[in-house]
Structure formats: C-alpha cells, structure tokens
Amino acid sequence: MIRVGLSVFFVCAVVGAWAQQSVSAIVVNEVFRRMPLSKALKTIEENYNLRIAYDHSLVQNVVVDLQLANLSISETLERLLRSASLTYQEVGANIIIVPAPKESAKSQPEKRNITVSGKVFDAETGETLPQATIRINGSAIATTSNNDGHFTILNIPTDTAVLEVSYMGYITRSLGISEIGDHASADIRMSSDAKILNEVVVMDEYNQAVKVEGQPGALVFNPASLNSLPSLGEQDIFRTMQLMPGVSTTDESSSGMVIRGMHPSYNLVLLDGMTIYQQDHFFGSFSIINADVIKDVRVHKGMFDAKYGGRVSGVVDITTKNGNTEKPAFNVRLNSINAKTTAEIPIGKKWSFFAGARRSFTDAVKSNLFKELFDIAQLSNDQIQLFGLVNTFGGTTSPSYFFHDANAKLTFRPSTSDVISLSMYVSRDKMDIDESTIFDDYSFASERQTRWGNNGLSLRWGRQWNSKFYSNLRISDSRFFRNHRIKTSSQSQEMMGSYELKVENNINDFTCAIDNEWLVNKDFTLEFGLSGVWQETDAHIYDKTILTGDFPGEFPEDTDARFSEKSLLHSIYGSVIIWPSRRFTSTAGLRLNHYVSASPGVYAEPRVTTRYKVNDHFNLKAGYARSNQFISQVLYYWETGTVSGLNENFWLLSQPERDAQPVISSDQLSAGATLKGNQLVYDAEMYYKITTGVVIDEDRNAGTTDVYGLDVIIQKMTGIHKGWIAYSLARATQSNPYILNGQAAPSWQDQRHELKIVNMLTLGNWNLSSTTIYGSGKPFPKYTARYYRDDSGNINDYELFLDYRNESRLPAYFRVDLAASYKFRLKGAVELEAGVSIHNVTNHHNVKTRMVDQTELDKAIFTNTELPPVYNDIILLGFSPSAFINVSF
C-alpha cells in the first residue's frame, strides 16, 4: 500500500501540467483474449491516452477474457477489475487502481460455512486439469482436483473469502467466493503461461513447472510446461523425470527409471490405468510414451498411496489428454529420428476424440544420431549381443530397424457429474538383420528378427455422486511381448548345417478396479477401493541345430524350454485422511493382497504419512510404507560364463513355494521439509529402504538390497526464468547368503552423488534451456578368469566368473545439453515452432560400462601363459545436435 500511496502522490503532483480529453467522453472497443490484466490496462492506457497507476502486486496472476463493445471507461474498468476484487478512483485526470472495500462486496448478508464444488479446465482446450491446487487465501484450507478436474472445499468460513487456483504451467487465478454464484458448480478456467509468455514483455508471477507435493516422495508436473528442455530429437517424458532428485539420469542410452537405487523393473508405470511393462524404444534410447499425448504425470518415489500396489520401488501414473472440446486442433512434429502427429476433435457437446501417432523413419533414413545410438546398443545391449549382429566373416550385413506407437481416447460426458473414456495404446519395435557371406567354397546366410511391444485398452467411468462422494471404475487389459528369432544356414564341401533359435516372453494382464473418495467432513476423508488382477506369463526358449556331412566333434543338444504361469491377485484398501488441525494432516492406509498362485498367501501393506504446516512457508513431512511385488524380471542363463552377465530377462510371476522366485517385499521410511520463498522452493527428504526377495545372482538366489540417501531440490518457480537444482546423495548395497558369505556389497545401481541443474528462459518468442548433469561413477561388472589346461599343460579353454564385490567404478559422468526454439504464428491459426537441441555440448567421453575383451583372452588358448581380463570402454553419445519443427493448427 506504500507503493500505491507514492503512485497517487506522484500523479497528483503532475496533474496540473498534464491535460487530456475527458474520461467520460471515451468509448472503448477492445477484445482481450486470455490476457494478463497488466497488459489489458496498458492497452487501455495507450489506446485511449489515459494515465493509469497501480501497485503491480494487485494485478499479478490475474487474467481477463473479455470482449468490450461501445463501453465507457467507467464500464470498461468495472468489468476488467471485477474478478480481481479491485476498483478505481479518479484523481484529477488520472485513474488509480485500488483494492475494493470489503463493504462494497456485500450486496447481501455475509454467508458462513460454505461448501464450494466445481471443475478446473484449460481455458483454450476445455481439458480438465487434475491435481490443481485450490486454496483459501489467508488460511490453511486447501484441496486438489481429482482425475476429472473436480474439487470440493468444505466449511469455507465466509463468502468474502478469496479462492486461489493454481496448476503447473498455468497462471494462478484468484476468485472471490461471493462472485462464483452457484457454489455447487463452479467452472474455473485456467490459462497456460506458455500461451501468455509470447504476448507479454513484462511478465507477472507464474506457477512453477514442477510441483513438490506435500506427500513424501511425490512430484507432479505438466509435460507441456517442460517441452523446451534439451532432448535427443524430441521431448521425452521419462528423461524429464530423470532430471528429478532421486531418479538416476547418467545413461542416455536408457530411458528406464532407476528410482532411489532400484532397477526399473520394480516400478509401476500406468498409462490411463494400463500397466506398461516395456518402457523404452530402440533398446533404451527413447521412452515408449509419446510426450504429446500426455496431460498429467504423478511420480511417487516409494511413498505411494494405498490405492497403488504390485511394485516395490516407484509409481509413475500418467493421464493422457481427452482432446479439445472447443474446436478441432492438429499438431505435426518432425525431427531427425521420427515424425509424429496428434489430432483433437470435439464431437457435439458431450463427446471428444484424441489420437496421437509416432513412427521412426530409421529404416529408411539412417541419421548420424541413429548410427551412434545403434552402435552403443550393439556393443552393450544384451538383446542384441545375444544374436551376434556383427558379421565376423567380412560379408554384407543389412540392418533395418524402426519403432512406432499410437494412442487414441474417446471421451463421453453424459452429464456434468460423469466422465466415461475409452483409451487404446499400441507400440512396436521391429529389427531385422539379414546377413550373407560367400568365402571360397563356404557360404553362410542368416535372418535375425527382434520384436517387442505393448498393447493396452482401458475403459474408465468417473462419477461425482455429490459434492462429497466420487467414484472411479476402471477395466483395463494390458499385453506385453518380446520375441527374438534367428535362422542360419551354412554350406561347404564337407557339410551342411542349419540353426534356429527362438526366445519369447509374453504377459497378459487384465485388471478391474474401483476407487472411491468420501469427504465425510472438513476434518475427515475416507478413500477406499478394491481390485482384481489376472496375470499370465509365458517364457519360451527353442534352440535347434541340424548338421549333415563330415562334422568333427559333438554339437549342442536341442533346447525346448517353456515356463508358463498364471495368478490372481485380489486387493482391498482403505485410507483415512484426517486434519486434527488445519496445520496438521495425517494419512493412514492399509492394503491387503490375496495372491493366488501355486501357493496362495495374504500380504498386508500398511502405509502412513504425516504433514505439519509450521507456517505459510514451511512444511514438515514424514512417512512409512510397505509394498510387495508379485511379478519380476528373472535372469535366465543357458550358457556359463557369459561376458554380459546374463542372456535374457524374462518376466515371470512369483511362486512363493520356490525360493528362486519369491514375492519381493520392501519397507521404506522417509522424512523431509519444504520451504517456500517469494521465488524459490527448497525441498529436502531423507529416506531408508530395505527390500527382500531380490534376485541378484546367476543361480537366482534371493537376496536383500538396502538403500538410504538424501534428495534435495531448489526450484525457481516464477518469472521468465525457471528451473531447478537437484542433488541426490545415496548408498545402495546388496547381499545374498550364497555370495561373499552374506556380506553386503555395492549394488549395480549404487551411485553416491548426482547433481542436475536445469534452466529455462523465455524471451518473447524464444525458448532457451540448458541441463547440466554430474554423477559419480557406478560399479561395472568385473571378472576373474579360470583357465583349463590339457594333458601337455597348454591352455585349451577358460571360464569367466563375476566379482560380486563391485569395488571397481566407472569414471564420473558429466554432460551439458543446450536447446533453443523459436515460435511464431503464420496466417490464420497456424503456429510454427522450430528449434535445435545439442546433446553433450562439451563432447565429454562418458562411459556406459566396461566389458571384457574376449579376443585378448582367446590369445591364451594353445599357450601356457594365463592372461588377465582386459576391458573395453563402451562410450556414450558425444556431441550430438538434432533439429525439429512443429506445426500446430
């Protein structure tokens, strides 16, 4: 208010020297579409030769959407200022914006203990916004919108209160309760700051790109607010998540989520309720989900709600877009690896359709980026190594690889209380390599095929029965497959031979679940539900050799092994959320699982979280969670001493009666604090996690992993420059009673330090960003060699044994990425964006892993000298630029 007084004093001092036309004679004709109030006032000031003064803090975060025709200045200002609870005063020829007196807001007697319900929408597309924060200014009363954007706040003290609504990447809105009208059905439309930034020279305060939740270990973000970050060709939702604390990012050849020292197979990834088992394309180079189809992402780093089950590490819950309900919208993107498109089509007033598709053109155009990524995969990926893709005979090899995926979603809103949606997802990776060799009197030919993919279908019905009770019914079917096949034939003067190998793994997952939320009163909320999951896994290995002619010696026996299993998992859960005071929140939940396989059993999962709001800026949080996993990737070996350490990962169901396939169980403790300043958010969280039933050796004996650490994030959440600094300190160990006498050793995911710095800057139509990543070295597989000699003492064979002490470390990882894009509008509604992203600007030689050079060990054969293992570094991507273009209309 001091600044308001100074402004008034200044304009009054100069009023005598300044003359203009009478305010009452001005007629205003303007259109303000989702425009900040500050810019609207500036437009009025410049177009109608007025002098308007105000305290900037009064208009920040206020957006107007009005069409003004033949209005006076008085009528114009009243309409512009109404939603912000502001008014104006004329001082001479000057207009001063001031807060509206409380008395003027009371046209009727003040109402108390009000219940407000409503939905939060995107103002431009009509998309509902889940997990928006709705709070009452000046109090601890707050809530979040559910998956359908619906919210309810009970017992608001008075109708003179102000409702503040915020969502990641959107401009915060402030609404007076008395202005909402029907408190039972408030529609609140939010404007994306990405749309506003291109129009504003001096920006108001904007909401943060990533939201650090009050719940321990939880993060929420909107991918659209982070699409300017550097990437390998396109925005990658999983790589964006890897920039968070507690999620490892020091391997760009893998989009898997290593959360708090646990393998990615221990994470639950849901896409509209469908379980996604394979989470990457191109052997880890790209994530399997198209970022353009995603509306909302929630990440839980272990302390997840009781409604989630079936995994022991993290949960990634992804909601796709419903589609534009206002007008058709289309988008096309092209980069150096793939092309993709989305379409949004409203159908009448109650239906909407959304579709997105993506396909790589790497089978037709092999860019430098593709070649480098393929070379890294060929050297280090077990699936490729399994099939020996390098032609050792000097012949011709013709590799062909591409991936594609597609999403579709049909949404029906039969009433304001119901949302019914049908979602579909399909993804495929296909690689074919044909090889032929003719050498003197010898000929060789082979055909190699690799296929993997996911299919998913889900039907969801969400209903808001009344302002206090919400239900969500979901039926989903998810299928995963991975098939490898190789056929070879050879011929010489002495013999003919053929060889065939098939490796297959399939999962069928059918789930039916219902979740309910009941706001009993302002101090008590009950969440409860039940689910049934039917799963079937199948793993098949077929290995057959046929030889005719003069064959010197024995050849391997045929293999035809199949592992087929079925299970049924019944789960019921309940959680109570209580507010003993408005500063203290506690959630206590219990999930009971009845796992039916060869040996049925009941598994209980208690979960408790607490949050204490010390003041408006400082929160404390803590929690405990237990979880179980009933399906996991099992390492299958059919050849002793493989250099890679394994030949294949098979998804198999847990069989509690078998020690080799136990149910995996995890317990996690967490405690932390969040401090919010004017521009920065500081969040720190300590955790300890112990997991049993983890298979870590080639004999598939179960062991234990222990992980403890600290996650820290400092986030700048306002203005044209946003970003964060994320740091993780962790120690992960593993132990097995049959390895090292049960002594603990560093696990394969152990990484002591990891630092990530993210910057995003918006300058008009330009978006500039950078990421800096540092990570201390991880363990790599080190081996000892055991040599075998013949009767004369010469070496005739050797065998490799893994050193489970894991004391050897890779060099530290360091990488800087940069990106720049420019967005502009063509004639009509066409919007064009072009940009470039540079991966590893400093061309730092980061090492993915180290592998034994078998050619060096082979030199010991037929000699009497034993050679120590020699290692080759597998180098990750160096300096790698890529470009993209995006067209929206």
> Can you tell me the mean pLDDT for 235-254?
85
Kindly calculate the radius of gyration of the chain based on its CA atoms and give it in whole angstroms.
Answer: 31
pLDDT for position 699: 62
pLDDT for position 551: 56
Which residue shows structure tokens 């932390």?
672
- Least reliable range by pLDDT among 2-11, 360-369, 372-381, 874-883: 2-11
* pLDDT band at 386; cut points 50, 70, 90: low
pLDDT for position 607: 96
Torsion angles phi and psi, residue 73, rounded to 5 = -60, -40
Instruction: Supply the pTM of this predicted model.
Output: 0.83
Could you report the per-residue pLDDT of 806-832, keeping only the tens digit for each?
Answer: 889 999 999 999 999 998 888 777 889
CA nearest neighbour of 232 among 273, 287, 289: 287
pLDDT for position 828: 72
* pLDDT band at 207; cut points 50, 70, 90: low
pLDDT beyond 70 at 18? no
Highest mean pLDDT among 81-95, 169-183, 692-706: 692-706
pLDDT beyond 50 at 662? yes
Q: What angle do CA 567, 570, 573 make, to 5 degrees?
A: 150
Higher pLDDT pick, 570 / 42: 570
3-state secondary structure 684-711: EEEEEEEEEEEECCCCCCEEEEEEEEEE
Q: How far apart are CA 457 and CA 441, in angstroms?
A: 54
Highest mean pLDDT among 78-87, 90-99, 788-797: 788-797
pLDDT beyond 80 at 179? no
pLDDT for position 7: 39
pLDDT for position 141: 81
* pLDDT band at 263; cut points 50, 70, 90: confident
- Percent of the chain scored above 70 by pLDDT? 86
pLDDT for position 522: 84
> Can you tell me the mean pLDDT for 605-622?
92
Buried b or exposed e, range 627-642, using 16+ CB within 10 angstroms: bbbbbbbbbbeeeebb
Higher pLDDT pick, 264 / 173: 264
- Least reliable range by pLDDT among 327-336, 637-646, 697-706, 769-778: 637-646
Higher pLDDT pick, 263 / 706: 706
Could you report the per-residue pLDDT of 119-128, keeping only the tens digit for each?
Answer: 998 888 888 8
DSSP per-residue letters across 23-54: GGG-EEEEEEEEEEHHHHHHHHHHHTT--EE-
pLDDT for position 56: 67
Higher pLDDT pick, 86 / 642: 86
Domains, in order of start, for the chain: 2-103 (3.55.50.30), 106-191 (2.60.40.1120), 237-888 (2.40.170.20)
pLDDT for position 577: 93
pLDDT beyond 50 at 92? yes
Higher pLDDT pick, 522 / 357: 357
Q: How far apart are CA 152 and CA 144, in angstroms?
A: 8
Higher pLDDT pick, 665 / 180: 665
Highest mean pLDDT among 279-288, 494-503, 704-713: 704-713
Query: Which residue blocks in 766-881 are alpha helix, DSSP H?
Result: 854-858
Do 882 and 369 meet the contact criterion of CB atoms below 8 Å apart? Answer: yes
- Order across the sheet with 94-99: list the strands: 52-53, 94-99, 86-91
> Can you tell me the mean pLDDT for 483-508?
84
Could you report the per-residue pLDDT of 556-603, keeping only the tens digit for each?
Answer: 667 788 888 999 999 999 999 998 887 889 999 999 999 998 677 899
* pLDDT band at 419; cut points 50, 70, 90: very high
Higher pLDDT pick, 314 / 548: 314
Highest mean pLDDT among 185-199, 376-390, 667-681: 667-681
Higher pLDDT pick, 467 / 158: 467
Do 377 and 253 meet the contact criterion of CB atoms below 8 Å apart? Answer: yes
* pLDDT band at 610; cut points 50, 70, 90: very high
- Order across the sheet with 186-190: list the strands: 150-158, 112-122, 186-190
- Least reliable range by pLDDT among 158-162, 536-540, 772-776: 158-162
pLDDT for position 380: 67
Buried b or exposed e, range 307-320, using 16+ CB within 10 angstroms: bbbbbbbbbbbbbb
Higher pLDDT pick, 214 / 659: 214
Higher pLDDT pick, 291 / 283: 291
pLDDT beyond 50 at 393? no
- Least reliable range by pLDDT among 46-50, 53-57, 777-781, 784-788: 53-57
Which residue shows structure tokens 């079917």?
477
* pLDDT band at 55; cut points 50, 70, 90: low
> Can you tell me the mean pLDDT for 76-105?
72
* pLDDT band at 856; cut points 50, 70, 90: confident
pLDDT beyond 90 at 95? no
* Residues 90, 92, 96, 98, Cα dihedral to 10°: -50
> Can you tell me the mean pLDDT for 475-500?
85
Q: How far apart are CA 236 and CA 604, in angstroms?
A: 36
CA nearest neighbour of 123 among 179, 58, 183, 196: 196
> Can you tell me the mean pLDDT for 457-475?
95
- Percent of the chain scored above 90 by pLDDT? 35
Torsion angles phi and psi, residue 44, rounded to 5 = -60, -45
pLDDT for position 557: 66
* Residues 74, 80, 81, 83, Cα dihedral to 10°: 140
Higher pLDDT pick, 478 / 111: 478
pLDDT for position 560: 82
CA nearest neighbour of 140 among 121, 161, 125, 126: 161
63-72 and 27-36 as β-strands: parallel, antiparallel, unpaired?
A: antiparallel
pLDDT for position 638: 45
Give the sign of the dihedral formed by CA 103, CA 105, CA 107, CA 112. negative
Could you report the per-residue pLDDT of 712-763, keeping only the tens digit for each?
Answer: 999 987 778 889 999 999 999 999 888 888 899 999 889 999 999 999 998 8
Higher pLDDT pick, 418 / 138: 418
pLDDT beyond 70 at 216? yes
* pLDDT band at 455; cut points 50, 70, 90: very high
DSSP per-residue letters across 477-510: EEEEEEEEEEEEEEE-SSEEEEEEEEEEEEEEEE
Higher pLDDT pick, 653 / 639: 653
pLDDT beyond 90 at 543? no
Q: How far apart are CA 490 and CA 57, in angstroms?
A: 80
* pLDDT band at 5; cut points 50, 70, 90: very low
* pLDDT band at 101; cut points 50, 70, 90: low
* pLDDT band at 645; cut points 50, 70, 90: very low
Q: What is the mean pLDDT of the chain?
A: 83
pLDDT beyond 60 at 299? yes
Q: How far apart are CA 624 and CA 604, in angstroms?
A: 14
pLDDT beyond 90 at 626? yes
